[in-house]
Structure 1
Amino acid sequence: MTTWRGAVRRVEPHLPVLLALTVAAATWASATGGLGVRAPLPGVVVLLVALATGAAVLASRPWVLPAVAAASWLLLAAWAPVVVASWRAGVGLRGRPLAAYLLGTVPVMLASVAVGGAMGGERRLVVATPGNAVLFYAWLVIAPAVAGLWIGARRDALAALRDRADRLEREQEAQAERVRVEERARIAREMHDVVAHRVSLMVVHAGALEVTTADPATVEAAALIRSTGRAALTDLREVLGVLRQGPPLPSPGWDAVDDLVRESRATGLRVSRADEGTPGPVPGAVARTVHRVVQEGLTNVRKHAPDAAVDVRLRHLADRIEVAVRNDPSDRPGPVLPGAGLGLVGLRERVELTGGRLTAGPTPAGGFLLCALVPVGEPT
């Protein structure tokens, strides 16, 4: 079936030329007696009329083929151009134009009867007798026109179905987009009502503690909590803006990785940062993924090994970026922090969406290594 459809698609652009050659050959065969009545005209005239019928099939003006078909029927009793002209009329014409074509064929057929009667012989027997004249009119005019009407109606029905399917698809896409927008707005409202409210309270209480306490260590810790909470509110507002409006997230660059390192050092982590290679321009999705890997690695260290030394290393290669967060063994567990335990799962999915690879696991020395290879180009 596939091979057949492919052959049809290859032949389809050449169908008008093939039809024109077929009509010209059939006209010649009809006028020479092979497929019809032999014409008494010279062979050169017959050849010119046959070529004219083939050219009329390719003509751009719709009236050319009916005119040439009428002339060839009166001169040569050639049936092929009449059949094609009637078929095209049925396919392309409706209402008054089609009625005008059918009425116009009546005097042509009557004139053909008169010509056949005047010529006598075989021409008179074939086209001039009343029974044959009626049969020829039905076969040459009515039947092709009816077939053309059926094909045209089927084509119009298929076009209407395609238009309806396209319209329904557009409506479904618009409906799906409306649902996505409403869902983003709902999630944004819930996040704002729950998360933003609690983080705001945390910032307010941390600010109050910073002002009222006299202990320098407590003041420093309260200031850190307040600044971290305000940064979290800023990030949350960006996420809520994306959920409400749908613009792309801002693309954090390499400076954002430095910010993560500085924030982690401010919390007491012993973090070192090293780069290998020359940083170059990368797509926003790649920069966000690298940022997210470093963020997840440092978050896990704060949770599980807050006293361990951490090494953040970025290797800028020709076609990819290798980012690694490695920490040494820890002598004491970190504070109990809430979490779903799905951070690495989501991070692995995010890295794999870029065409990269993520590995995470303990090191031989007893520490932990989070490593990701992120392609710089688009995923294949």
Structure 2
Amino acid sequence: MTRRDTVFDALTTAVAVLLVLVSVLGPPVNAAYAPAGLAAECATLVLLPLRRRAPLTVAWLVAVVAVVMTVTEFAVPGTVVRGGTTPWIPLATTPFAAYGAWAHGGERRHAWAPVAVLAIIAARPWAPSGPMVTQALLLTAVPGLAGLYVATRQRLVEQALADQRSRLAADLHDTVTHRITLIVLRAGVLGMSARDADTRAAAEDMRASGCQALEELRELVHVVRADTAVPSRSRAPAPELGPLVAESAAAGLRAELDEDGDPATVSPMLRRTAHRIVQESLTNVRKHAPGAEAHVRVRYRREAVHVTISNTAPARVGDPALAGTGSGTGLHNLRQRVELAGGTLDAGPAGDGGFRVAATLPVS
């Protein structure tokens, strides 16, 4: 929930409470509701904070209170209201309940019933009059239509964003796939025509890496397009963190890997995301913290994968030319990738002069 929503909810509650206080603190001769009616009003006020999380439930509960008020007033006139034109519904909460049922309810068609009950009781069709019908429309239909407009507008905006994201994903897939496919094919030709074993091995590694990149791209496109048919099993093998850390150690970075849990229980896509986080973090350590020690900690849990990469302060001055390479958006891109997987990523300086990257990737 955004800050604007929080402010709006606070104002909603304040207005509803103010409407009740007007009846309670005003002169008894002008009080619209009798004690039983005021009790019903106050009872429904506690429902307002729930109107976003359970809008239909709140609407139905307010409708039930209105039915009880109506039955009571029929049985013992004057028990609920004092004035003849006062609606037999919880006046302070009905507009907000009608609005929430349409604006926040998952199934909009289910909002018709409770709002219709409130509208009928407020209009009193058994004793119709122009003021009563107008009052009923203002208390139920107008807020309900406003909620329907807000919900429809939000749905159209989300659909437009989803369509735009789908088009971008398709363009990305077509363009990058074409280039990587050419690399894979040429690597295959090179491997077949090369005479020495080292060249053939390098070409095969290039071909395998290209195939893996194509598979990862396919999965990422599914995520970007919010596709529900994401393959549960990938043909490309999930990369291991051990060789990645070993490569950094061979390049002169003192790195240590600490894994806890079974990586096989995690989807290949999450393992690739964790691999990418560790890869980018170790690259940054080599570029910006020469002589530092890095510690990679990964925890595979049932609910999430926790990845933490921390390094000590640099032991010597770095190479400006090396530090200036790259686009400078590595961490930003990582954060976007983690958020696409539904996770969070925090990165920033550590207290000992080093740097720390921590990510949480939900398994679900």
Instruction: Report if aligned partners of 1:188, 1:243 keep a CA contact under 8 Å in 2.
Output: yes
Counterpart in the other structure of 2:193 = 212
Q: How big is each residue's C-alpha offset from its partner over 1:53-84, in whole Å with a ceiling of 9 and x where there is no partner?
A: xxxx977277656xx89xxxxxxxxxx99985
Task: Select which of 93, 101, 108 maps to 2:124.
Answer: 93
RMSD (Å) for aligned C-alpha atoms: 5.9
In the TM superposition, 1:293-308 aligns within 5 A as 293-300=277-284
Matching of residues 131-280 of structure 1 within 5 Å = 149-247=130-228, 259-262=240-243, 269-270=250-251, 272-275=255-258, 278-279=260-261
Does the Cα contact within 8 Å between 1:269 and 1:308 map onto a contact in 2? no
Q: Distance in 1 between matches of 2:356 and 2:232?
A: 21
* Residue in structure 2 matched with residue 358 of structure 1 by the alignment: 347
In structure 2, C-alpha distance between the alignment counterparts of 1:5 and 1:82, rounded to whole Å = 18
Cα deviation per residue 1:254-308 (whole Å; 9 max; x = unaligned)? xx996144257579955754217x5599999998875443021245578x59x99
Letter aligned with residue 359 of structure 1: G
Segments of structure 1 that go 5 or more residues without pairing to the other structure are 22-56, 70-79, 100-144
The aligned residue for residue 343 of structure 1 is 330
Q: Aligned AA for 2:153?
A: Q
Q: Does 1:18 align with 2:47?
A: no
Encode CA deviations 1:324-380: one digit per residue, 9 max, x unaligned. Answer: 36798899999999953211344467889967642369x99xxxx652245799xxx
Larger Rg: 1
How many correspondences in the alignment?
A: 269
Q: 1:211 to 1:203 in 2, by over 3 A?
A: same
Distance in 2, matches of 1:219 and 1:335, equals 31
Q: Secondary structure at the match of 1:340?
A: coil
Task: Provide closer, same or farther for how the CA distance between residues 226 and 350 of structure 1 changes in structure 2, counting only shifts above 3 A.
Answer: closer
Partner of 1:38: none
Q: CA deviation at 1:233?
A: 0.5
> Who is 2:17 aligned against?
6
Task: Give the whole-Å Cα distance in 1 for the aligned partners of 2:346 and 2:272.
Answer: 15
SS, match of residue 308 in structure 2: strand
Question: Counterparts of 1:334 and 1:211 in 2: how far apart (Å)?
Answer: 38
Q: Aligned residue for 2:309?
A: 323
Alignment of 1:95-134 (within 5 A): 97-98=126-127
Give, in whole Å, the separation in 2 of the partners of 1:198 and 1:58: 71
Q: 1:288 to 1:215 in 2, by over 3 A?
A: closer
- TM-score normalised by the chain length of structure 2: 0.52
Distance 1:251 1:152 in 2: 56
Q: Which amino acid aligns with 1:98?
A: A
Q: Distance in 1 between matches of 2:21 and 2:82?
A: 26
Give the number of the structure whose residues are more often helix, by fraction: 1
Extract unaligned runs of 5+ from structure 2: 1-10, 25-30, 39-67, 89-120
